[in-house]
Amino acid sequence: MRKLRRFLAMLVAAVLLAAALGTLVPRPLWPAAMAGGEGARHILVLKNPIHTDIAIPVDDGVRRRFHFLADAGLPADAPAARYLVFGWGGRAFYLETPTWSELKAVPVLKALTLDASVMHVDIVGAIAEAHPDVAGFDIDEQHFSALLDYIAASFRQGPEGPIAIDNAGYSSFDRFYEANSHFNALIGCNTWTAAALRTAGLRTGWWNPLPVSLEVSMRLYN
């Protein structure tokens, strides 16, 4: 029993050390060069205690890029639509846990081990950037395009484009789609967000498994 406790203590210490180093060591080590003279795009990172999303401001080009949303009935063309909010996550947890009161053991177990992944898209109006769970970043046009490429590549494609999951959504303003890659506790929703932000020319930590870790890294290096 003593050996087991010692092993568990060492395991916890190793995870905490990895999380600390993952937060404090920047990735990439050196800032990416921004293309000059092309204007800035402003994106938002949204967080809750366990999850992060990326909010992309809606314009005609973004609507065309993600035209499959309107084709599927989502009101991306609505005058009140200001942002498309994208997130990647574990299939079971995302689909079966719309609220904390509906938390179940099986989705949690899959999230901690291995699960298929989904993309979640939400169409929202104005977002108060002063809110503590919202952070804004300016990126140039070239990196904005690269970010859209990264997001689009996360959707699993079928014969007719991204594969919508039937009857999956929290409201009439959001939809779930099948995604590429698998989800686990080490490579999860927040590491997806971090990778997307690096594609956008921003710096994250080397490993950001939690929103608070990503938030600290982004504040330190951007």
Q: Give per-residue pLDDT as tens, 142-178.
A: 999 999 999 999 999 999 999 999 988 899 899 999 9
* Residue 57 main-chain phi, psi, to 5 deg: -65, 140
Q: Give how many domains the chain has, as a whole number.
A: 1
167 Rama sector, left if φ>0, alpha if ψ -120 to 50, beta otherwise: left
Residue 202 host element (H or E): none
User: In sequence order, what E strands does the chain have?
Assistant: 26-27, 40-47, 52-57, 83-90, 115-124, 134-140, 157-158, 161-162, 174-183, 204-205
pLDDT score at 114: 86
- Given a contact cutoff of 8 angstroms between Cβ atoms, the answer to whether 45 and 135 are in contact is yes
pLDDT score at 72: 85
Residues 111-121, mean pLDDT to the nearest whole number: 89
Q: In the numeric block, which tokens belong to residue 95?
A: 């689909």
Helix and strand numbers, DSSP H then E, in the chain: 8, 10
pLDDT score at 10: 60
**Lowest-pLDDT range of 32-36, 159-163, 199-203, 217-221:** 32-36
pLDDT score at 13: 60
Q: What is the pTM of this model?
A: 0.89
Q: Please report, as a single letter, which amino acid is at residue 45.
A: V
* Residue 111 scores a pLDDT above 80: no
Nearest to 85 by CA among 199, 203, 175, 15: 175
* Residue 11 scores a pLDDT above 70: no
The C-alpha angle 22, 190, 200, rounded to 5 degrees, equals: 90
pLDDT 10s digits, 59-86 = 999 999 999 999 888 999 999 999 999 9
Residues 101-115, mean pLDDT to the nearest whole number: 75
pLDDT score at 122: 97
Residue 174: which domain range? 2-32+40-221
